[in-house]
Structure 1
Amino acid sequence: MNYQIKASSVSNKDASVHIKQSNIDFGTIPNSAETLPNPAELFLGSVASCILKNVERFSKMMKYTYTKATIEVSATRLENPPRMDHISYALTIYSNDDKLNITLLQKNIEKHGTIFNTVKLSGSITGTIQTVRED
């Protein structure tokens, strides 16, 4: 598989990533620092997207059901050279399904996630998965 995106910016304005039929605006100027994601946050968003996509993917393969999943991803930015370090995630899956094996799910996410494995090659990434039963 090959992937391709486009992005554009205008001088003294913000920028946008163009992917398929979506446009994702991101900040490049100080005025938008509090309202639009920056490149580091988009990067962490890619990690989150990869994990959530695999929650859905493995729900079919592992035959479990869930109503929703949420994730928080964090990282520390180092200065010299500028880079992300120690990425961590906390994944919560809302499910009453006793067939949901979170140990196996985490193993599969961390073994088969394209973005996850790319990130793992450049630094540490760790995480936790918890389930929340719904009444």
Structure 2
Amino acid sequence: MLEYNVCARRIDGHGGEASVKEARIILDTDVNGRLDAFNPAELFLAALAACMIKGIERATPMLKFDLRGVEVKLHGVRQDSPPKMNSIDYELIVDTDETDHRLELLHANVRKYGTISNTIAEAVRLDGIIRRKS
């Protein structure tokens, strides 16, 4: 089993900071929001995107899959009462010359082996597509 530790602290009424290893990220904890930091819902979606990109990085050498780049677009829908994320839709855009079948194989690997995506999929409707960059 792997274990993870993150430390977060309040800086002031407008934000906080989370740190791990040698990295830090500013958190939008202001009730009015702020433009220069991720709020908790955006961090949640960013974690999912990072999981998918990391899954692609893991799968491409095993599948001998050639790509030039990847982009992940996410859309989350949050309800107010009780506050929770209801659904997440995503689009994986891969810059590649691989066949459609191989593209779908990459997508299956990303969905099957993603720690964050598997955790989220058990709690929230998570739907998405993979497509070739035009």
- Please confirm whether the aligned pair reaches a TM-score higher than 0.5, indicating the same fold: yes
- Residue 17 of structure 1 deviates from its aligned partner by 1.0
Post-superposition CA distance 1:79-130 (Å, at most 9, x none): 1210001111101011124497121111111111000010011111010101
Equivalent residue for 2:130?
129
Matches of 1:83 and 1:90, distance apart in 2: 22
Equivalent residue for 1:82?
83
User: 1:57 is aligned with what amino acid?
Assistant: R
Point out where structure 2 has 5 or more consecutive residues left out of the alignment. none
CA contact (8 A) 2:92 2:129 kept: yes
Which range moves more in the overlay, 107-116 or 8-17?
Answer: 8-17
Q: How does 1:1-135 map to 2 (within 5 A)?
A: 1-30=2-31, 32-98=33-99, 101-132=102-133
Matches of 1:32 and 1:80, distance apart in 2: 19
State the TM-score, normalizing by the size of structure 1: 0.90
Matches of 1:62 and 1:100, distance apart in 2: 12
Matches of 1:103 and 1:97, distance apart in 2: 10
CA contact (8 A) 2:11 2:17 kept: no
Point out where structure 1 has 5 or more consecutive residues left out of the alignment. none
Identity %: 29
User: 2:128 is aligned with what amino acid?
Assistant: G
State the TM-score, normalizing by the size of structure 2: 0.91
CA RMSD of aligned residues (A): 1.7
Tell me: CA distance 1:31–1:75, structure 2 relative to 1, closer, same or farther (3 Å): closer
CA contact (8 A) 1:64 1:99 kept: no
